[in-house]
Amino acid sequence: MDGLRWLLLLFGVLVIAGVYLYSRREKETPQPEQTSDRLEPTLSADEEEPVAVVEPPADTPAVPQKIVTLRIVAREGSSFRGDELILSMRGIGLRHGKFGIFHRYDGSEEGESIFSAASLVEPGSFDLANIKEQELPGISLFSIFPGPIDGAEAFDMMMAAARALAQSLDAELLDESGSSLSIQRERYMREEIIQFEHSIKVA
């Protein structure tokens, strides 16, 4: 798979992550019962008509967030059968949910996601109704920090899931740039998360 195609696939995954991140931030932002804030029209992802969005108070700083991504791809340019891929993800506790992708939730209920899995086929969602007829080149696992649990613990859970999937599917485990994930790179990613969460706690 050439570099341009990888770039387009990664862009699609980041779009999904960005939409999910925006949705989670909107959900977590407390809304006052009454507000005199200025309203501006904007376009939602599913509508062409303007919708009103309340601007957050100017004195409420946005919480910095970090997205960490892994890839699981079929070997030598082959692909996964859609139904086998879905069964493997469900087998390690991932559940189909928001945005048509799979999530590992914090607890048994569909609360906040510890990490998520999107298809490398644009737009990233999984069409379960036709999954048996599909051939997929791979998936992307991603986690948004800070999340519902400690960052290092969330990363360890995502790594364990990635290894389990790579083994069950006889697949390659890659980093966000498409390079083989080495032990050194894994340790560096984990340390980056720890430092990031420490920086926002002391900010």
Mean pLDDT of the chain: 80
Let me know: does 172 contact 73? Beta carbons within 8 Å: yes
Please tell me the predicted confidence (pLDDT) of residue 145.
97
Quote the pTM value.
Answer: 0.72
Domains of the chain: 3-25+59-202 (3.30.1400.10)
In DSSP terms, 162 is beta-bridged to none
pLDDT of the chain, 203 residues: tens digit per residue: 444 344 444 545 554 555 455 555 555 555 544 444 444 434 333 444 344 444 545 555 678 999 999 999 999 879 999 999 999 999 999 999 999 999 999 886 677 999 999 999 999 999 999 999 999 999 999 999 999 999 999 999 999 999 999 999 999 999 999 999 999 999 999 999 999 999 998 86
pLDDT digits (tens, 9 = 90+) for 34-76: 444 444 434 333 444 344 444 545 555 678 999 999 999 999 8
Chain centre to alpha carbon of residue 105: 12
Q: What are the DSSP calls for the chain, one per residue?
A: --HHHHHHHHHHHHHHHHHHHHHHHHHHS---SS--PPEEEEE-TT-SSEEEEEPPPTTSPPPP-EEEEEEEE-GGG--EEHHHHHHHHHHTT-EE-GGGSEEEESSSSS-SEEEEEEESSTT----GGGGGG-EE-EEEEEEEES-SS-HHHHHHHHHHHHHHHHHHHT-EEE-TTSSB--HHHHHHHHHHHHHHHHHHHH-
Burial class (CB in 10 A: 0-12, 13-18, 19+), 28: exposed
